[in-house]
């Protein structure tokens, strides 16, 4: 048990949701709901009065919505925030905007006429609040370093895995890379529907053509392929070409899509010619797969603790000796390019 309970402020315009969240969170001895607000104005007062460790924040509220409140909060008083969102494709863009502004994670909003559903997810709610209390928020964004890799360098397949905090981390890494020199395959823990919106956003904000994989796409330089929510993705070789393969299956490390599934296929199908990066996230998904990739002679990196929202997955990889380099987020692109340049010069 923690010495001091995690102080949580619940912000939601629904009295039923406020009551349910309070009941669930107070059921854990390490958590104490210190206040509940029905709108942004009340929430602002309670933040100043109570100094909560974590805030659960409804996306949709009257007058001042959750996104506007979050934007002001992260500038004035950065605090770990978990968004309470309807996990539908129509709400995915709003939720991704919240993550961009600094929210740590999101939780499905319970359906009021099916209250039992909320209690089935009580462990998820509690675990995410505990994770948020340990997370890092409020980091200033450093200028993106965009290294240049001469066209003569060999193109490489880069595999990326991430979870909590990963949407912004993946966006940052892709923005750092010279797209023409890399073919990227990525797994981010997200539900179905959200990955479509996330891929569209990455396609707009980076130089890569970003696709939510459907299976059967030939993996080409300049393209980045994202595992779809709710399904695993792996790479398969057909002759000299690599293709995406999307499939259903059991969860691995508690996730579908799983980073380990993608990384295992990279180890077996690409081997020493691959590059792999494991970014911020809770748990250990990807650590075993990254170890397999490194054992082939491929280059592997992990995001460093200081730049992670949650230093879980990278830590697990470091502890397995699966990582050749531990790198701040804003330097991962240049690190990968420098590695390829050095390898090319030595050959």
Q: State the pTM of this model.
A: 0.88
Tell me what the mean pLDDT of segment 31-35 comes to: 96
Lowest mean pLDDT among 104-118, 192-206, 214-228: 104-118
Question: Rounded CA gap, 138 and 79, in Å?
Answer: 8
pLDDT digits (tens, 9 = 90+) for 42-97: 999 999 999 999 999 988 877 878 889 999 999 999 999 999 887 666 678 888 88
pLDDT digits (tens, 9 = 90+) for 224-243: 999 999 999 999 999 989 99
Write down the mean pLDDT value for the chain: 89
User: Which has the higher per-residue pLDDT, 259 or 91?
Assistant: 259
Task: Answer yes or no: is pLDDT of 141 > 90.
Answer: no
Task: Answer yes or no: is pLDDT of 342 > 80.
Answer: no
Q: Indicate which residues carry an active-site annotation.
A: 163, 189, 285
pLDDT digits (tens, 9 = 90+) for 319-333: 999 999 999 999 999
pLDDT at 63: 80
Lowest mean pLDDT among 80-94, 154-168, 203-217: 80-94
pLDDT at 1: 43
Task: Answer yes or no: is pLDDT of 154 > 50.
Answer: no
pLDDT at 155: 60
């Amino acid at each position: 048990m923690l010495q001091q309970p995690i102080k949580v402020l619940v912000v939601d315009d629904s009295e039923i949701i406020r009551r349910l969240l309070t009941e669930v969170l107070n059921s854990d001895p390490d958590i104490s709901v210190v206040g509940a607000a029905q709108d942004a104005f009340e929430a602002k007062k309670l933040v100043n009065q109570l100094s909560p460790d974590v805030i659960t924040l409804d996306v949709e509220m009257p007058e001042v919505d959750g996104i506007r409140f979050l934007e002001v909060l992260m500038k004035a008083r950065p605090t770990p925030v978990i968004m309470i969102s309807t996990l539908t494709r129509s709400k995915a863009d709003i939720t991704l905007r919240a993550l961009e502004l600094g929210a740590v994670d999101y939780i499905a909003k319970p359906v009021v006429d099916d209250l039992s559903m909320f209690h089935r997810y009580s462990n998820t709610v509690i675990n995410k609040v505990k994770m948020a209390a340990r997370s890092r928020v409020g980091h200033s964004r450093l200028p993106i370093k965009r290294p240049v890799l001469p066209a003569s360098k060999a193109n490489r397949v880069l595999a990326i895995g991430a979870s909590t905090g990963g949407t912004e981390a993946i966006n940052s890494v892709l923005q750092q890379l010279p797209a023409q020199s890399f073919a990227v395959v990525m797994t981010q823990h997200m539900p179905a529907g959200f990955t479509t919106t996330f891929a569209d956003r990455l396609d707009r904000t980076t130089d890569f053509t970003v696709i939510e994989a459907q299976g059967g796409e030939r993996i080409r330089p300049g393209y980045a392929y994202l595992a779809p929510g709710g399904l695993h993705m792996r790479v398969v070789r057909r002759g000299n070409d690599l293709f995406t393969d999307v499939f259903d299956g059991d969860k691995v490390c508690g996730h579908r899509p799983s980073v380990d599934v993608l990384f295992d296929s990279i180890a077996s199908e690409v081997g020493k010619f691959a590059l792999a990066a494991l970014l911020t996230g809770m748990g250990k998904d990807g650590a075993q797969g990254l170890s397999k990739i490194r054992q082939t002679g491929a280059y592997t990196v992990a995001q460093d603790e200081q730049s992670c929202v949650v230093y879980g997955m990278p830590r697990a990889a470091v502890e397995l000796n699966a990582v050749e380099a531990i790198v701040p987020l804003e330097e991962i692109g240049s690190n990968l390019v420098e590695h390829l340049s050095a390898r090319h010069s030595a050959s």
